[in-house]
Amino acid sequence: MSKVLIVAEHADGKLNASTAKCVSAAQALSPAAIEIVVLAADPAAVAAEAASIAGVSKVITIANAANAQAIAQVQAPQVAAVAGGYTHVFGPSTTFGKDLMPCIAALLSTSQVSDIMAVEGSHTFKRPIYAGNAVITVEAPSDHPVVGTVRAASWPEAAKDGSAAVEAATVDAALPSHTRFVGLAAGSSDRPDLQSAKRVVSGGRGVGSAENFKIIYDFADKIGAAVGASRAAVDAGYVPNEMQVGQTGKIIAPDLYIAVGISGAIQHLTGIKDAGTIVAINKDGDAPIFEIADIGLVGDLFQILPDLEQAM
């Protein structure tokens, strides 16, 4: 029977929604137990949140000042030290998990299963390849623990009505000093986080300039949405790079995605494959975005967006 350990992703004392998505993926294994490990300088608040995720039987905390920042090389030996006895070690397929999980896999002498989008068996998983244009079934060796990243966009958040026990662990692992925290440069915004927002409005090259992007921000604020962008809009300097949606940007799965002045290149569509309702606003009725849009509005964005705002 499987026993799954999930590495919690958190920041500023709050658990990231990706952890509850990992729990959903773990539940698909019908395991004997699902446990979460929280590494932090002071893990109490995050551990309490993790303990409320339904289906979780135990939360293990590893308190260490060295865990104040999520540095993969520092955290991996600590996770590996508590990973004995688990058949699976999961983390989210976010920047955090993509950084950390391969390090854990290496320390456990196994390879990583990336971007798990479906569970077919205890060691058999589906994952996207070719920028999401095909899905492959992969089988992990059964004589090693499975270390995997879970594709957040493919799984719902597990409910928050659980009450798992929280247990502090003392870990005896040598922590490397060759990788040290120097500083963090992060953009700040009052808008919802792009990766976990229920609604996203994205602008493309069609928006025309950084100044014109105001129309996208205003509309997004009106409907409480996060703001994304195509790579062309990022490359043109209209918006910063962390707003890019797509193959080389963020893979998202909001309930509502509104693409404004975006043509619908395959690399962009890869990032929104799991979105609920897709609305496209484009003046070119033949734009490929309309092939996947649930609702298509053909026309000038500078006319349609104010009209929509007024109609609300």
Footprint on this chain of ligand FAD (rule: CB under 6 A): 204-206, 230-233, 244-249, 261-263, 265, 267-268, 271, 281-284, 287, 300-302
Q: Are strands 256-260 and 199-203 parallel, antiparallel or unpaired?
A: parallel
40: Cα separation from own chain's centroid: 20
Nearer to ligand FAD, 221 or 284 (CB): 284
Place of tokens 């100044």: 211
Judged by beta carbon, residue 1 or residue 311, the one nearer ligand FAD is 311
For the residues of 170-200, what is the DSSP string, one character each?
----PPPSSS----------SSPPTTT-SEE
Q: Which is nearer to ligand FAD, 22 or 297 (by Cβ)?
A: 297
Q: Amino acid identity of 15?
A: L
Quote the CA–CA distance of 286 and 34 in Å, as a whole number.
Answer: 48
- Give the chain's end-to-end CA distance (angstroms, integer): 53
Q: Which is nearer to ligand FAD, 31 or 132 (CB)?
A: 132
Q: Report CA-CA distances (Å) from 238 to 197, 228, 233, 235, 301.
A: 21, 11, 5, 8, 16
In the bound complex, what is the minimum distance in angstroms from residue 42's beta carbon to ligand FAD? 36
Shortest separation between residue 19's beta carbon and ligand FAD, angstroms:
25
Distance CA 180, CA 71 (A): 8
Q: Of 22 and 287, which CB lies nearer to ligand FAD in the complex structure?
A: 287
We find the least distance from the C-beta atom of residue 111 to ligand FAD, in angstroms, to be: 25
- For the bound state, the minimum distance from the C-beta of residue 76 to ligand FAD, rounded and expressed in Å, comes to 28
φ, ψ (nearest 5 deg) of residue 63: -90, 125
Question: Shortest gap between Cβ of 80 and ligand FAD (angstroms)?
Answer: 32
Least distance in Å: CB of 240 to ligand FAD? 14
Output 66 or 131, the one with its CB closest to ligand FAD.
Answer: 131
